[in-house]
Structure 1
Amino acid sequence: MADIDESLEFIPLRIAVLAVSDSRSMAQDTSGDTLVSLIEAAGHVVGARKIVTDDRPLIRDTLQAWVDDEAVDVVISTGGTGLTGRDVTVEAHRDVYEKEIEAFATMFTIVSMKSVGTSAVQSRATGGIAKSTYLFALPGSNGACKDAWNEILVWQLDHRHKPCNFVQMIPRLEEHKRLA
Structure 2
Amino acid sequence: MSIDETREFIPVRIAVLTVSDSRQLADDRSGDELVARLEAAGHVLAARAILPDERAEIAGQLAAWCDDDGVDAVISTGGTGLTGRDVTVEAHRDVYDKEIDAFGTIFTLVSMDKIGTSAVQSRATAGVARGTYLFALPGSPGACKDAWDGILAAQLDYRHRPCNFVEIMPRLEEHKRRK
Find the residue that maps to 2:69 and give its secondary structure: coil
Q: 1:162: how far off?
A: 0.4
CA distance in 1: counterparts of 2:56 and 2:114, whole angstroms: 32
Structure 2 portions without partners, runs of 5+: none
Match in the other structure for 2:107: 108
3-state SS in 2 of match to 1:84: coil
| 1:46-85 alignment, distance < 5 Å | 46-85=45-84
AA partner of residue 173 (structure 2): E
Q: CA deviation at 1:77?
A: 0.1
Aligned ranges 1:151-162 → 2 under 5 Å: 151-162=150-161
Q: Distance in 1 between the 2:5 and 2:82 partners?
A: 42
1:129 offset after TM fit, Å? 0.1
Please say if 1:23 is aligned against 2:26: no
One-letter amino acid of the counterpart of residue 146, structure 1? K
By how many angstroms is 1:177 displaced? 1.2
SS at match of 1:12: coil
- The ranges of structure 1 where at least 4 consecutive aligned residues each deviate by more than 6 angstroms after the TM superposition are none
Q: Which runs of 5+ in 1 are unaligned?
A: none
Look up the match of 2:31: 32
What's the counterpart of residue 150 of structure 1? 149
Counterpart residue number, 2:120: 121
SS for the counterpart of 2:76 is strand
Equivalent-residue separation in structure 1 for 2:156 and 2:27 (angstroms): 27
Give the 3-state SS of the residue equivalent to 1:22 in structure 2.
coil
Three-state SS of the structure 2 residue aligned to 1:24 is coil
Distance 1:126 1:31 in 2: 17
Summarize deviations over 1:66-106 as a string: whole Å, max 9, x none: 00001000000000000000000000000000000000000
Aligned residue for 1:15, secondary structure, equals strand
- What do residues 39-85 of structure 1 show as CA deviations (whole Å, max 9, x unaligned)? 00000000100000000000000000000001000000000000000
C-alpha distance in 2 between matches for 1:85 and 1:175: 38
In the TM superposition, residue 11 of structure 1 has moved relative to its aligned partner by 0.5
Q: What SS does the aligned partner of 1:6 have?
A: coil
TM-score normalized by structure 2? 0.99
**What is the DSSP-based 3-state SS (H/G/I as helix, E as strand, rest coil) of the residue aligned with 2:118?**
helix
Count of equivalent residues? 179
